[in-house]
Amino acid sequence: MYKRLSSVMFPIFAVLLVGALVWGYQENQEKNAILIKAENQYQRAFHDLSFHMDKLHSEIGNTLAVHSTSQGMHRKGLMNVWRLTSEAQNEINQLPLTMLPFNETEEFLSRISNFAYRASMRDLTNEPLSEKEMGNLKKLYQNSSEITKNLQDVQQKVLTDRLRWMDAETAMATQEQTMDNTIVDGFRTVNKKVQEYPELDWGPSVSNIYAKRSVKKLDGLPVTKEQIQSKAAKFSDADRSKIQVQENGKGTDWESYTATIDHANNGKLMMDFTRNGGMLISYSDTRPIGTKKVSRQNAMAKADQFLMNKGYKDMKAVNYDEYGNLGNLTYVRKQGDALIYPEKMSVRVGLDTGEVTGFQASDFVYEHNDKRKIPKATLTEQQARKKLNSEFEENYVRKSLIENDYSKEVLCYEFGGKINGSRYRIYINANTGIEEAVEEIKPVNATS
């Protein structure tokens, strides 16, 4: 009997064993193939990074080599600098550097990129590179030379010693101080040296991009938890005793409060307030949203009424979208006959009842200014209209204050209309006549 059983089971076990070995071999081969592919991608990105940093250094040198009045060559050189820094940033993002402190180098490249782009896009004939900007380029030329040399040193060691990026990734993942890795140490050296470079004066158009919004910039004294409870109760018409308040980011530039209220609809009301002045940043009602029953017009009317009831006057809806059973509206403040786009907020409406379920006002809070001065338009509406494409079918025109690519507030004529089968907003500068921005208006996504 045992002979018969073994004669049956042995072939089965043998087949299973062979199958397991074949499966394990295939799994190992697939794993190795994935590792080889990842290693090849890392190596390609690293060597491309070294190449583009070297080209960046050369391109900055070429821009400095031409005459100070060679606006055409300056524009060409700066555009190439912008392109090369963008390439370098892209290659850094492809490397496993998330656990390595390389942020100083990334921000350094980002600032060069923004400086080069903004300088190249302006009218260099009327506004050539200033002495300060040329001085910045000379310092960037020296700094990029040092970064390039350090990267090339690492590259030489990688090629000579056949170093692998997978080993570098392991070294960073272990986070052991005693572990030595040439690639990791090389990038740490680059980042440390960049950190030691003196801060350059990039000018307001670039510096504004990196200016952190801080609650310390807000007017008003710091408020207490009890005051936040009162503000939350007033805004939500809720019982003050049922409101819980949590303090966030204590000791940082982002100190705030979150007020939470449980309600009967299996959800919560949550409100975020700034610590300075107790300004409401956001409001969210997490109740379940039912089937859509409310039209777009009714949703907009409900949102308008909500803002009026909460004390936000002179707000005008400039955009409406639908996602599922939610309507999302963007509002900006109207001052005189102009829309102030920096002072914008968004309102979310549940299309089952039309009640507002969300409110985001951080841009409005940080940019609001009752004493904002709107510049006068030197061009007439008709003169600005002549700057439009002749095929543009205009639906409306209005004055708008927007922030342009140079982080400057400019007064524009906002033309809304159609061309090539799509809807657009085109912003023509009311003083210079140039097109400051073009924005495609997506059709309402009513998928409910």
pLDDT tens digit string along 316-341? Answer: 999 999 888 999 999 999 999 999 99
Backbone angles phi, psi at 422, to 5 degrees: -125, 160
Q: Are residues 155 and 81 in the same domain?
A: yes
Q: Are residues 123 and 261 in the same domain?
A: no
Instruction: Note the maximum CA span of the chain.
Output: 107
List the one residue out of 286, 340, 288 whose CA is nearest residue 313.
340
| Range in 102-116, 118-132, 197-211 the model is least confident about | 197-211
List the one residue out of 279, 174, 158 whose CA is nearest residue 222.
279
Q: Are residues 200 and 233 in the same domain?
A: no
pLDDT greater than 80 at residue 144? yes
In a domain, residue 432? The reply is yes
CB 232 within 8 A of CB 238: yes
In a domain, residue 6? The reply is no
pLDDT tens digit string along 108-117? Answer: 888 888 888 8
d(CA 351, CA 314): 24
Half-sphere exposure of 275 (CA within 13 A, CB side): 16
Burial class (CB in 10 A: 0-12, 13-18, 19+), 376: exposed
Sign of CA dihedral 229, 235, 238, 244: negative
Q: Report how many domains make up the chain.
A: 3
Backbone angles phi, psi at 276, to 5 degrees: -80, 115
Domain end residue (candidates: 304, 333, 367): 367
CB 269 within 8 A of CB 238: yes
8-22, 86-100, 150-164, 270-284 — which one is most confidently predicted on average?
A: 270-284
In a domain, residue 8? The reply is no
- Residue 339: alpha-carbon gap to chain centroid: 24
Q: Are residues 198 and 335 in the same domain?
A: no
pLDDT value at position 35?
67
Q: What is the CATH number of the domain that holds 385?
A: 3.10.450
In a domain, residue 182? The reply is yes
Domain end residue (candidates: 337, 367, 397): 367
pLDDT tens digit string along 247-283? Answer: 987 766 678 899 999 876 677 899 999 988 899 999 9
Residue range of the domain that includes 353: 217-367
Q: Are residues 108 and 182 in the same domain?
A: yes
In a domain, residue 1? The reply is no
Domain end residue (candidates: 316, 341, 367): 367
In a domain, residue 88? The reply is yes
